[in-house]
Amino acid sequence: MRREFLPLSKPDIGYGEIKAVTKVLKSGYLTTGSKVTEFERAVCNYLGKDLFAVGLNSCTAGLYLSLVASGIGSGDEVIVPTWTFAATAHVVLWTGAKPILCDVEESSLNIDIQKMKDLITRRTKAVIPVHFAGYPCDMDEILPIAGKNGIAIIEDAAHAIGTEHKGRKIGSFGNMAAFSFYATKNLTCGEGGMVVSNNKRIVEKIRKKSYFGINKKAFNRYNKKGSWYYEIEEMGYKYNMDNIHASIGLIQLKRLRKMIRRRRAIADLYKKNLDVRIRRTKDDSQNLHSYHLFTIAIDKKIISRDLFIKKLKQRNIGTSVHFIPLHRHPYYKRLYKKTCFPVADRVYEEILSIPMFSAMSDRDAYYVIEQINDVLKRLPGRRKGG
Ligand SMILES: *Cc1c(COP(=O)(O)O)cnc(C)c1O
């Protein structure tokens, strides 16, 4: 057995990122400035559509400001999958609106579009689809439903930079998409986020809101170019991205294609070699899965998920559970009467995420495979063919 613990995820930071940060630190201009603008443009270029972008300090801030910019507030409803991180639903509560939780589809763990349709009322103002693990929601199906009902689509693309839906990158389907550059995500700045949209007005509105409601010219006010004068045009927040984070993001973006290729290669090893009793989420040739996460599920009649996690930990393998459905958390339980989401509840008991990061070696992947298969092989009471 290997001595060293293999974590679930580890940021892939190279010399390039270190050099870029050093350069910004020496430049004397640490906060929002030219590096952020450069990063915003580079992301739009990468996504390959006529898009506009605003760099922020998190994806959560991006989701929140997208709701605010869409005029969502008290009395409104926003449909959110229950299979997600706190951020997706908390931001709805921040606006005063109500998150309406929706069950997910078993094969992808993305929002169940049929059930989403049934949840639409005249109060529904938006839906926040999450591209779980880096596999895209069926945007071709969601777009016309949202269009017909006049509701906004704000994509939680925290897992999905580089993900493609039918040959087109995630980020240009909905009205707005928010990416995360958190430490474990496919592209990381440590912390950071970005909203992209094909609507320039919305992006500029979010930019202003991200910095106290002050016009963007204020960012130049300490330069020779700038002026001391600024105006607060509306209420706003402090969610801006800075040059230090943006400089890391710029290097990461240059490496992103390669990093995603690596994740996909590891996924291939897993798919080919893991015990046949392991269930995996959907992947197909129509879409490009960017494998932010690799989740597996095992029938609880074979082994309980919790015991499985414990056994892998003993073998120095880090795992986690994505996600504990929102409706199972005490806070959200108190918020809703109905807390029965059959698919999410069933899958939750059997699912776990296994190590997946671009700096992982083939040997690491084979170690995970061998250990998982060995745990299953050693289970008592198993007969050949049974
Ligand atoms: C990580 C994550 C977020 C939040 O991203 P931050 O950049 O940390 O704010 C939102 N939604 C999902 C599904 C996530 O996994």
19 is an active site residue: no
Bin 316: left if φ > 0, else alpha if -120 < ψ < 50, else beta.
Answer: left
191: containing domain:
15-252
**Total domains, the chain:** 2
Tell me the CA–centroid distance for residue 194 and ligand 1, in Å.
Answer: 11
Which among 186, 173, 375 is positioned nearest to 274, based on CA atoms? Answer: 375
The one catalytic residue among 185, 208, 209, 311? 185
d(CA 178, CA 383): 49
In a domain, 382, yes or no: no
In a domain, 5, yes or no: no
CA 290 vs. chain centroid, Å, equals 11
CA 218 vs. chain centroid, Å, equals 31
* 179 pocket-lining for ligand 1 (C-beta < 6 Å): no
Over range 170-181, report the average pLDDT: 95
Buried b (16+ CB within 10 A) or exposed e, 324-363: ebbbebeebeebeeebebebbeebbebbbbbbbbbebeee
Instruction: Give the percent of the chain with pLDDT over 90.
Output: 91
The predicted pLDDT at position 384 comes to: 53
For residue range 189-225, list pLDDT tens digits in order: 999 999 999 999 999 999 999 999 998 666 666 667 7
In a domain, 9, yes or no: no
Over range 116-137, report the average pLDDT: 98
Residues 125 and 194 reside in one and the same domain? yes
Over range 101-106, report the average pLDDT: 97
201: CB partners within 8 A, 6+ apart: none
CA 60 vs. chain centroid, Å, equals 10
Q: Edge-to-edge, what's the strand order for the sheet holding 124-127?
A: 52-56, 193-197, 176-180, 152-156, 124-127, 77-81, 98-102
* 180 pocket-lining for ligand 1 (C-beta < 6 Å): yes
Using DSSP, state whether 1 is helix, strand or coil: coil
Using DSSP, state whether 230 is helix, strand or coil: coil
In a domain, 2, yes or no: no
The predicted pLDDT at position 16 comes to: 98
For residue range 40-79, list pLDDT tens digits in order: 999 999 998 799 999 999 999 999 999 999 999 999 999 9
* CB-count burial class (<10 Å; 0-12, 13-18, 19+) for 265: middle
CATH number of the domain to which 282 belongs: 3.90.1150.10
For residue range 256-302, list pLDDT tens digits in order: 999 999 999 999 999 999 999 999 999 999 999 999 999 999 999 99
Instruction: Give the percent of the chain with pLDDT over 70.
Output: 96
* CB-count burial class (<10 Å; 0-12, 13-18, 19+) for 316: middle
* 59 pocket-lining for ligand 1 (C-beta < 6 Å): yes
End residue of a domain, out of 200, 235, 252: 252
- Whether 383 has a pLDDT exceeding 70, the answer reads no
The predicted pLDDT at position 337 comes to: 78
User: Which band of pLDDT confidence, cut at 50, 70 and 90, is reported for residue 82?
Assistant: very high
Using DSSP, state whether 140 is helix, strand or coil: helix
For residue range 341-362, list pLDDT tens digits in order: 999 999 999 999 999 999 999 9
The predicted pLDDT at position 227 comes to: 81
Which among 50, 39, 287 is positioned nearest to 179, based on CA atoms? Answer: 39
Tell me the CA–centroid distance for residue 240 and ligand 1, in Å.
Answer: 16
In a domain, 385, yes or no: no
Question: Which atom of ligand 1 lies nearest, measured to the CA of 184?
Answer: 1
User: Which band of pLDDT confidence, cut at 50, 70 and 90, is reported for residue 172?
Assistant: confident
The predicted pLDDT at position 336 comes to: 87
Q: Tokens in use for 161?
A: 């930079």
d(CA 32, CA 37): 8
Residues 114 and 237 reside in one and the same domain? yes
End residue of a domain, out of 252, 278, 310: 252
End residue of a domain, out of 252, 282, 298: 252
Residues 144 and 100 reside in one and the same domain? yes
382: CB partners within 8 A, 6+ apart: none
Give yes or no for a contact between 366 and 269, defined as CB atoms under 8 angstroms apart. Answer: yes
Residues 209 and 342 reside in one and the same domain? no
User: Which band of pLDDT confidence, cut at 50, 70 and 90, is reported for residue 386?
Assistant: very low
User: Which band of pLDDT confidence, cut at 50, 70 and 90, is reported for residue 373?
Assistant: very high
Residues 151 and 182 reside in one and the same domain? yes
d(CA 344, CA 66): 27
Residues 276 and 366 reside in one and the same domain? yes
